[in-house]
Every structure is written in structure tokens, then in C-alpha cells.
């Protein structure tokens, strides 16, 4: 196979020459697959509309992903890294050789430092000999004791990479964890891993566990790495990975018929921005402007929906609208909430050990009330902590949270029923409820996340035993559009925020003008391609400093205010 043919694959020659493992992988592909490859540094959401695709993209140093459609239910997702073909016996020999040398290197603060130390040790144990074939090796011994291993340069790099992935990072999962386009990683038992791709949907990966024993060993090692070990007495673990991603592990075949399994919900340190959600039609610019007004004036908002409806993503994106000078306390089981504010206290629950020492959401929420925050963000409200959240709102704190409920009616049923039991007359303490869902768009057939409605809670009428709420925004599923009920229909804008803005009822029109002004700011930023989380945050800080009117004037005047800080 000539180098010219490889170049025709679409992968730049400089990449192929630098990454020999990628070159070997490309050569192993069938000609029709190889010659139609497209290499992309980043992926666009526009690719979601392609029925057929054959793409390679990088996800880290020497790590690449090859994803292609194949006329089946799921696309094929292949993680390509230098370690993929390294024989297990070479890695085992290296493990034996390095063991006596690592005792003097116990202290390291970062993964990068640990990798550097390991590479330094490996350099003293590997003798390069390019006369050997790939993955051919010779063990060097002295007085019957192995002291070194002789390999060619390609094998040495691949074997070192395999060992470092296993010892320092997350092994075969590392490419998937570094892939910014992956939402979920799922191992259902013996067989392939599945991934949920943000652009290409559900995919089958090339990572396969063929024997239950291999899967059990991997799961045990995985639980050790996260410091929350599973065993037959404690077969289920919920924990966080070093990057903050959620992981659930079920060990053994006693309670899982197909053997050990695990699911990872990926975490991104940099949140999706509210403008990105608008560009994806999750919500409209007017809905985002409305959330901005609610959060500026201290209204409590809960983001509700079923599992994987985008609640946490929306909460994280909308939190950028909170006053930059606010003190914020976030409370979670696993750390997912991220805000850009300086005065931010981040607290997480703690499981108990031996029947004691457990710190729950309920206890953290009670403690938060003594910390004098302006805003409390609860990752997810599920039980008795809801009563404390309502007490917090009553005492003047804004509470943002997510909640599992597919409608306002279901939310109220859960809040007023066992085990939460919020008095019905207290429900209107919660100001607004966003209802979200993952829906199938008829035009494309794809599943997308949408705000189904934004609702204002008005109150409870004891005489009719009815809860009153206003569906201010709703989603038209036929046209895939977000509709606004219009001026004169908002209870919160006209009865609460209007007063807080220092306006009288005769000036009610001005609050709707402010809503439109904020929507216009967001639309102009979209038009100018300023969609990132940091750019939105820079704009919000300016708006709090000089007001939205001057902010809009400066954008319309051509100033790139989102780059000012």
C-alpha cells in the first residue's frame, strides 16, 4: 500500500507519519472504508443530519476515534490508541520489571507527574533494537533474574502507552472519557461497550469483554481506582470518577444475570452555554431572557423532566445569569454543578462508613441556610430535603434545582404527597417550573431535548382544591417552535418583578420591553458567533455593571463586549 493511497484516506500525512499506530489502523481497513475516511479536528452538530459518515477525529495525545455508519441500528465507534494491539505478555513483563523501582517514587501530586515518573523508569528498562519486528521482544536477564526487555521503538512506545493507560489512567476507557462528544458509556455485561454520542447517537464500540472473569477483574480494578471498591458483600457502588463523571457499578452475576456491569454519565467541566442550547432549539432566546430576569430578581426556578431530559445541562447553562456578586452554595450527591462566580461554596454528600458518618443532602441544605448565601443550587431534590428547600425560599433565598417530574401536575403530586408532604398552600413559594423532555423531531426523526413549557406557579385555591399555574411558554411539536403567551399574561413579571424593578402597574409595558431587550442581546450574540460559556458570562457581567440598555447599544455599535475580560 503506497503512502499516496494512505493520503487519499483524508487523514493529513503529517498525522499519519507522526502516529504510526493510526497509520497501521488505516492500512487494516477495507479499501472502500479507508478511501472514504474524513479527518476532522472538531465535530459540528450539522453532522447529525448525515445518514452516512466515516470520520476520524482526535481526542487527546495519540488517541483517536473512528466512527462510521454501517447500515445497522448502531454505528461503529472505534477507539484507536498505540496500546490496542500490544500482547498481554509484554505488559506483564514490564509490570514485573518496574515493580522493584516504584517503591522510591511514592509521592506524586498529579497524573502527569505519575506518568513522567513511570516513563523515566521504563526508559531504564527498555532496550531499543529496531532489528526486531513489531511486538517481538527479548528478555534480558542477569543471573537468571530479568533486568530489561529488548524491543523495537514502535513496540516500546506502544507497550509503554499500554502500561501507562492501565496504571495511571482508566485503561481501555481512557479514549472514551477524553472524548468530549460522549454523554454516556454503558457496559451491560459480557460483550461490547456502548456509547451515547452527542452527534451520532447510540454506537457500539470496539471495546469488548469476552469472558466474565475478564470483566470482573476490570470492574474490581476500576472500583479500586475510584477509591470505592466493590465486592460480593457490597456489589453496588455509586461514585465519581476523577473528572467528576458519575459511575454506577454492579459487581458479579448474583444480581446481574449477564455479569458485572457499569454505566458512566460523562461530566464536562465547561458547561454547555445557554446560547448553544438556543442554537440547538432546546429553548428560544425569549425563554432564555425570561430565565435571566427571574434569576436577576431572585425567583426560585426548578428544572423538571424525566431521566436524560437535559435538566442539569439547562440548570448549569442558566446559572450564568445569576448576579456576579452573589454568594452561591451548591449541594449535590455527585459534583456536576459548575458556576463561574468567585464566591461559590461547593458541597457534596458523603456516604457513611460502618453505620456512621453519612452526610446527606438534607443536612447540607440545613447547613447552607447558616452560610448566608444569595442562591442555593441543589443538584437534584428527591426527598425530605424538599421541605428544607421550601423553608429556604420562604426565608428569602433563591433555590435552583432539578426534579424528576414530567409535568407541573406530577411535580405538585410528588411535593404534596409522601414522603415530602409540602403543605398545598406553600406550593406557590416556588416561583417557576421548567418542564423538559427528550423528544423525537418528526422532520429529522432524531431525538432532541426541548423545553416543553415554562410555568409560573400562582397558588392553591382551598375552596376549589385546585392549583393555579400559568403556562407562559410552550413548545409546538408540529412546527418545533417555542411559543410565548404574550404581553399581559405573566404573573411573575407583572406582580413581582415589576415592583422589584421600581415600576408601577402603569408601566407594565416596560417589563416586557426589558424581556425583549435581553432576548435581542442573546440573538445578536448568536448572529455574531459568540456562543461559548465564557463569552456569555462576560456579557452578563457587563449587563449587571452598565445595564442591558447600554449593553445592547454597545453590541449594536459593533463592540465585541463578550471579549472585554
Sign of CA dihedral 360, 366, 368, 373: positive
Mean pLDDT of the residues in the chain: 91
- With residue 233 as reference, give the H or E element that holds it: none
Residue 111 — pLDDT band, cuts 50, 70, 90?
A: confident
Confidence (pLDDT) at 317: 97
How far CA 26 is from CA of 31, 35, 552, in Å, comes to: 9, 9, 51
CB atoms within 10 A of CB 99: 9
What integer pLDDT is reported at residue 6 of this predicted model? 42
Give the pLDDT of residue 343. 97
The model's pLDDT over 418-429, given as tens digits with 9 standing for 90+, comes to 889 999 999 999
Check pLDDT > 70 for residue 220.
yes
Q: DSSP string covering 529-548, please?
A: T--SHHHHHHHHHHHHHH-H
Helix-helix angle 508-527:548-556, to 10 degrees: 40
For domain 274-487, is the CATH number 3.40.190.170?
no
Helix then strand then coil, in percent of the chain rounded to 5, is 40, 25, 35
**For residue 4, what pLDDT is reported?**
39
Residues forming beta bridges with residue 482, ordered by sequence position: 475
Distance of alpha carbon 220 from alpha carbon 322, whole angstroms = 42
SS3 262: strand
- pLDDT higher than 50, residue 7: no
For residue 257, pLDDT over 70 is answered with yes
Q: Strand ranges (DSSP E) for 224-285?
A: 236-240, 246-250, 261-265
- Residues 390-445: pLDDT tens digits? 999 998 999 999 999 999 999 999 999 988 999 999 999 999 999 999 998 887 77
pLDDT band at 3 (very low <50, low <70, confident <90, very high): very low
Cα distances (angstroms) measured from residue 76 to each of 49, 54, 118, 528: 17, 10, 33, 36
244: its cell numbers: 467528576
Mean pLDDT in residue range 191-218: 94
Average pLDDT rounded to a whole number, residues 50-56: 92
* CA–CA dist 65, 57 (Å, integer): 5
- If one counts every other C-beta atom within 10 angstroms of the C-beta of residue 445, the result is 7
**Contact status, residue 264 vs residue 182, Cβ threshold 8 Å:** no
| Spatial separation of the C-alpha atoms in residues 216 and 505, rounded to whole Å | 67
The predicted pLDDT at position 107 comes to: 63
The 3-state DSSP class for residue 280 equals: coil
- Strand 432-440 relative to strand 447-461, pairing: antiparallel
Q: Specify whether the CB–CB gap between 178 and 50 falls below 8 A.
A: no
Each residue's pLDDT tens digit, 455-483? 999 999 888 889 999 999 999 999 999 99
Of the candidates 367, 283, 365, the one whose C-alpha atom is nearest the C-alpha of residue 321 is 283
State how far the alpha carbon of 124 is from the alpha carbons of 117, 178, 192, 447, 501, in Å: 11, 29, 37, 53, 70
* Strand stretches in 308-411, DSSP E: 328-332, 344-348, 375-378, 398-404
Pairing of strands 63-68, 54-60: antiparallel
CA distance 222 to 191: 17
Please give the pLDDT value at position 509.
Answer: 95
Return residue ranges of the chain for CATH 3.40.50.300.
274-487
Q: How many CA atoms are closer than 13 Å to the CA of 179, on its beta-carbon side? A: 31
Q: Helix, strand, or coil here: 467? A: strand
Q: Cell 452561591 appears where?
A: 328
Which of 159, 185, 165, 163 is CA-nearest to residue 77? 185
Question: Which pLDDT score is estimated for 8?
Answer: 45
Tell me phi and psi for residue 559, to 5 degrees: -80, 135
CB 155 within 8 A of CB 134: yes
> In this structure, how many other beta carbons lie within 10 angstroms of the beta carbon of residue 6?
19
Q: What is the pLDDT at residue 256?
A: 85
Amino acid at each position: 500500500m503506497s503512502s499516496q493511497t494512505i493520503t487519499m484516506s483524508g487523514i493529513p500525512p503529517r498525522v499519519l507519519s507522526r502516529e504510526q499506530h493510526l497509520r497501521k489502523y488505516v492500512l487494516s481497513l477495507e479499501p472502500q472504508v479507508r478511501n472514504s475516511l474524513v479527518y476532522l479536528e472538531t465535530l459540528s452538530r450539522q453532522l447529525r443530519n448525515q445518514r452516512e459518515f466515516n470520520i476520524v477525529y482526535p481526542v487527546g495525545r495519540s488517541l483517536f476515534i473512528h466512527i462510521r455508519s454501517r447500515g445497522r441500528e448502531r454505528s461503529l465507534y472505534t477507539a484507536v490508541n498505540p496500546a490496542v494491539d500490544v500482547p498481554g505478555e509484554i505488559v506483564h513483563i514490564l509490570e514485573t520489571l518496574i515493580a522493584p523501582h516504584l517503591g522510591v517514587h511514592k509521592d506524586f501530586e498529579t497524573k502527569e507527574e505519575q506518568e513522567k515518573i513511570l516513563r523515566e523508569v521504563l526508559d531504564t528498562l527498555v532496550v531499543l533494537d529496531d532489528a526486531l519486528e513489531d511486538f517481538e521482544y527479548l528478555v534480558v536477564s542477569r543471573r537468571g533474574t530479568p533486568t530489561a526487555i529488548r524491543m523495537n521503538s514502535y513496540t516500546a512506545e506502544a507497550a509503554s502507552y499500554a502500561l501507562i493507560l492501565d496504571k495511571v489512567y482508566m485503561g481501555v476507557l481512557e479514549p472514551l472519557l477524553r472524548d468530549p462528544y460522549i454523554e454516556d458509556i454503558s457496559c451491560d455485561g459480557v460483550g461490547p461497550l456502548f456509547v451515547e454520542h452527542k452527534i451520532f447517537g447510540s454506537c457500539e464500540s470496539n471495546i469488548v469483554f469476552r469472558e466474565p472473569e475478564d470483566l470482573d477483574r476490570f470492574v474490581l480494578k476500576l472500583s479500586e481506582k475510584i477509591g470505592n471498591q466493590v465486592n460480593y458483600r457490597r456489589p453496588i457502588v455509586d461514585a465519581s470518577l476523577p473528572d467528576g463523571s458519575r459511575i454506577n457499578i454492579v459487581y458479579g452475576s448474583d444480581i446481574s444475570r449477564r455479569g458485572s456491569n457499569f454505566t458512566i454519565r460523562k461530566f464536562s467541566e465547561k458547561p454547555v452555554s445557554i446560547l448553544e442550547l438556543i442554537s440547538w432549539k432546546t429553548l428560544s432566546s425569549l425563554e432564555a431572557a425570561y430565565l435571566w430576569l427571574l434569576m436577576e430578581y431572585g425567583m426560585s426556578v426548578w428544572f423538571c423532566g424525566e431521566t436524560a431530559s437535559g435538566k442539569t445541562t439547562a440548570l448549569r447553562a442558566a446559572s450564568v445569569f445569576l448576579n456576579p456578586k452573589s454568594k452561591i452554595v451548591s449541594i449535590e450527591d455527585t459534583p456536576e454543578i459548575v458556576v463561574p462566580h468567585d464566591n461559590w461554596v461547593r458541597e457534596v454528600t458523603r456516604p457513611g462508613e460502618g453505620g456512621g458518618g453519612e452526610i446527606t443532602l438534607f443536612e447540607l441544605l440545613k447547613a447552607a441556610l447558616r452560610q448566608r448565601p444569595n442562591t442555593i443550587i441543589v443538584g437534584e431534590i428527591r426527598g425530605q430535603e424538599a421541605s428544607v428547600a421550601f423553608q429556604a425560599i420562604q426565608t428569602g433565598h433563591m433555590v435552583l434545582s432539578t426534579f424528576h417530574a414530567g409535568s407541573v401536575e406530577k411535580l405538585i403530586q410528588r411535593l404534596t404527597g409522601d414522603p415530602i408532604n409540602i403543605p398545598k398552600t406553600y406550593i406557590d413559594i416556588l416561583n417557576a417550573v421548567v418542564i423538559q423532555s427528550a423528544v423525537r423531531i418528526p422532520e429529522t426523526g432524531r431525538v432532541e431535548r426541548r423545553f416543553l413549557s415554562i410555568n409560573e406557579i400562582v397558588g392553591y385555591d382551598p375552596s376549589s382544591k385546585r392549583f393555579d399555574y400559568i403556562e407562559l411558554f410552550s413548545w409546538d411539536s408540529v412546527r418545533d417552535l417555542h411559543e410565548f403567551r404574550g404581553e399581559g399574561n405573566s404573573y411573575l413579571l407583572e406582580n413581582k418583578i415589576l415592583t422589584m424593578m421600581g415600576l408601577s402597574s402603569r408601566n407594565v409595558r416596560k417589563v416586557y420591553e426589558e424581556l425583549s431587550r435581553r432576548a435581542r442581546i442573546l440573538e445578536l450574540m448568536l448572529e455574531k458567533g459568540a456562543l461559548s460559556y465564557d463569552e456569555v458570562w462576560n456579557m452578563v457581567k457587563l449587563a449587571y455593571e452598565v445595564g442591558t440598555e447600554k449593553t445592547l447599544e454597545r453590541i449594536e455599535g459593533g463592540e465585541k463586549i463578550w471579549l472585554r475580560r
